[in-house]
Structure 1
Amino acid sequence: MSNAVREDLVLSHAAITADVEAPFDRVDIAQWLKTLPTHEYQRCAPGDHKAAGYTVDDDGTPMSINIEMIGTGLVVQQYRFEVAEAHYCKMVSLSDILTPAGWTTTQVIWELRMEQLDGDHCRYTNTVTSHPTDAFLTFIAENGQTFSEAAEARQEASGRHCRVETPLYAQSIARWAAAR
């Protein structure tokens, strides 16, 4: 089966914002991600977030490893940093998903952005977009599910998850920045 990403198809998309008080000049999302302890990651989506870590890929690209539940799937994400800036990070993962029917893969793009609104009043935006792989499309077809059905289920689960984690991520980033 091919892990070729079908960028022409969107499995799910969520862009959620949360306002927070944070010293904007001390916010550094890239550093926060690289030093995010597992237990703090778990507090950002209680029950769903299982573990987080930081590593580098074979070519030296920084990576964030996240393990979480999205709906009924245990998702193992190996996010490669494509943009790693203080106020914006874009990370892309070819993620492994353990579903009740077995393993499959999707691509997940995670974007984290902090904007200064006024003084220390900031807005955090958490954007998560998922695209199926060819292997995912074969997997759902073999399990009697259409892409539309899979996308609807993933959109609901991912949307719920992002609504929980976004304000908690914003608060975690603000605490991290204030402690610097």
Structure 2
Amino acid sequence: MTDRIIAESVSESTIQAPLTAIDLTEWVFTLTDSEYQACSKNHIAGATTLTPEGKRMSINVEHVGNLMVQHYVEDVAERNHCRLVSLSDSIGPEIGARVKLVVIWEFSAEAIDAGTTNFINKVEVRTAPGYLEALEERGVPFAVASEAAQKALSAHNAEETPLFARDIERKARASRWG
């Protein structure tokens, strides 16, 4: 992982369910393909698997500025806090233009009161080896790429966060996690 942040976004949404009824790690690793697609017009596919080491992985395909294929591996896996790290493929705008990015997806839940929870969804995109060289080959300044990525990421996070919260709320109210 490098220290060069390309874009980052934080969005929050209210869940009308108590914090004790929510399990974010179970939510993300049991999210079905159709549920994932329902949380953004730009979500194409979602599935889960295991790494060879036995860690859970969420595989997501979505369009956020470019076509993104993400392989989110659990880093922090708690009931009210989950952090996933992906060495992601970013493809486009030309089909042959493919680079690697590090995407960190972190989300948490905090009690507002006994029956209401705040959902915080944070996404950070960082450079991976070869990214800056790929920009240079295309004659694209880092600042231009970063600005475009920031715009796409902020819009995407603003759309998906309340829809993620709605899905979590529905499952929490159905006592999905005990």
Give every structure 1 segment of 4 or more consecutive aligned residues whose post-TM-superposition deviation is greater than 4 Å: none
Runs of 5+ in structure 1 lacking a partner?
A: none
Aligned-partner Cα distance in 2 for 1:89–1:20: 17
Q: State the Cα distance separating 1:6 from its structure 2 match.
A: 2.0
2:56 is matched by which residue type in structure 1?
P
Q: State the Cα distance separating 1:108 from its structure 2 match.
A: 0.3
Aligned-partner Cα distance in 2 for 1:115–1:104: 35
Query: In the alignment, which residue of structure 1 is the partner of 2:73?
Result: 80
1:138 aligns with 2:133: yes
* Percent of matched pairs sharing the same residue: 35
Q: State the Cα distance separating 1:22 from its structure 2 match.
A: 1.3
1:56 is matched by which residue type in structure 2?
L
Query: In the alignment, which residue of structure 2 is the partner of 1:6?
Result: 2
Q: How do 1:8-157 residues align onto structure 2 when only pairs under 5 Å count?
A: 9-46=4-41, 48-71=42-65, 73-101=66-94, 102-157=97-152
Q: Deviations over 1:65-109 (max 9, x none)?
A: 1110002x1100000100111111000000011112311110000
Aligned-partner Cα distance in 1 for 2:15–2:106: 18
- Asked if 2 retains the 8 angstrom alpha-carbon contact of 1:114 and 1:124, the reply is yes
Runs of 5+ in structure 2 lacking a partner?
A: none
Q: Supply the RMSD in Å over aligned alpha carbons.
A: 0.9
- Asked if 2 retains the 8 angstrom alpha-carbon contact of 1:23 and 1:174, the reply is no
TM-score between the two structures when normalised by the length of structure 1 = 0.93
